[in-house]
Amino acid sequence: MTGTSAYWQDLVRDLEDPEFLREFVVESVRIATIDRVVNALDDAREAAGVSKADLARAIQVEPATIRRLFGSGRPNPTLGTLAEVAAALGVRVTIEPLTDDEQTHVTEPLLAGCTADTVGLAHHLQALRTGSASPV
């Protein structure tokens, strides 16, 4: 992120609006979290040598469900589906606390609806979305 393009200047300005800030933070965290979990499950599937079709049979869903989960650019699985897939692969989905930095850049602005550092928030959320920051 250069911080000088019109897009980033507009984003920083838009993050001053509490409603936009909350929606943008929530969507950024949602995307990053789902990507992280789905990628970890796909890695576990590949490491176990389980095909997508075998995994679908194991949790009794249509093969297309598993193909969409691991092949879609924007999967939106339910927690139940993720838990079933994880169990079939011998792993579990867990919750972990955010780092202090993530709490500063995600939790505090989300709860407050504002941040004193919109540029820092924009940088952090962009890094989160692209995977170059500690995932949530």
Given a contact cutoff of 8 angstroms between Cβ atoms, the answer to whether 69 and 38 are in contact is yes
Taking the chain, what is the end-to-end CA distance rounded to the nearest angstrom? 20
Q: Is 32 exposed, middle or buried (0-12, 13-18, 19+ CB in 10 A)?
A: buried
Q: How confident is the model at residue 136 (pLDDT cuts 50, 70, 90)?
A: very low
Q: Distance of alpha carbon 52 from its chain centroid, rounded? A: 22
70-99 pLDDT, tens digit each: 997 778 899 999 999 999 999 999 999 999
Listed in sequence order, the residues at least 6 apart from 81 whose beta carbon sits closer than 8 Å to its beta carbon are 59, 61, 65, 69
7-39 pLDDT, tens digit each: 888 998 999 999 999 999 999 999 899 999 999
Listed in sequence order, the residues at least 6 apart from 14 whose beta carbon sits closer than 8 Å to its beta carbon are 20, 21, 24
Residue ranges per structural domain of the chain: 6-130
CATH fold group of domain 6-130: 434 Repressor (Amino-terminal Domain) (1.10.260)
What letter does residue 97 receive in the DSSP assignment?
P
Say what the pTM is: 0.82
Mean pLDDT of the chain: 89
**How far is the C-alpha of 45 from the C-alpha of 39, rounded, in Å?**
10
Sign of the torsion formed by the C-alpha atoms of 129, 130, 133 and 136: positive
**Helical segments of 72-132, H only:** 79-88, 100-102, 108-112, 118-130
